């Protein structure tokens, strides 16, 4: 694989709207919301938090998010950031188109979900046509073992 491999990790850090430290996705050591803000500057990107399934308000949504993360599909759409106010699919949700290639995980593109939460639950996934893709975000490639650090946010702890 000729592309640059990006380091992904999860560490407890503070964010703009939460006083207590919480699991935060880091891309090459930079919080994902800050990373995204560099490519899509607006009033709501900074302060978004990972899709921490244990924090999600609706059980059916948290189970779907965990299922999507665990899915063996070669390509899938995975929610990666959410609004900390609601912790559900009804507010701002940032998604990644995730492709698995041998020992690598590739985020081909990232977008803002515009699907209705009911539609996402009914279809058991995000409809590509309901996503506003952000054109200038670079493709990111992660080592599969390194990517497993996301288990901290996508797996129920119970």
Is the CB of residue 110 less than 8 Å from the CB of residue 80?
Answer: yes
Q: What is the pLDDT of residues 2-26, one digit of tens each?
A: 567 899 999 999 888 787 889 999 9
pLDDT digits (tens, 9 = 90+) for 62-80: 999 999 999 999 999 999 9
Indicate the pTM of the whole model: 0.93
Tell how strand 140-143 and strand 93-101 pair up: unpaired
Name residues whose C-beta falls within 8 Å of residue 62's C-beta, 6 or more positions apart in sequence. Answer: 53, 54, 56, 156
């Amino acid at each position: 694989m000729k592309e640059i491999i990006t380091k992904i990790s999860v560490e407890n850090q503070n964010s703009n709207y939460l006083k207590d430290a919480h699991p935060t996705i880091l891309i090459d050591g930079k919080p994902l919301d800050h990373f995204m803000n560099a490519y899509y500057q607006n009033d709501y990107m900074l302060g978004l938090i990972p899709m921490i399934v244990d924090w999600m308000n609706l059980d059916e949504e948290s189970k779907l998010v965990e299922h999507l993360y665990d899915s063996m599909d070669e390509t899938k759409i995975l929610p990666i950031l959410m609004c900390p106010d609601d912790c559900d699919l009804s507010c701002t949700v940032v998604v990644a188109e995730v492709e698995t290639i041998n020992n690598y995980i590739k985020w081909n593109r990232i977008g803002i979900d515009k699907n209705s939460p009911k539609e996402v639950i009914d279809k058991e996934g995000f409809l590509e046509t309901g996503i506003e893709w952000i054109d200038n975000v670079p493709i990111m490639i992660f080592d599969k073992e390194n990517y497993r650090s996301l288990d901290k946010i996508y797996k129920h702890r119970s």
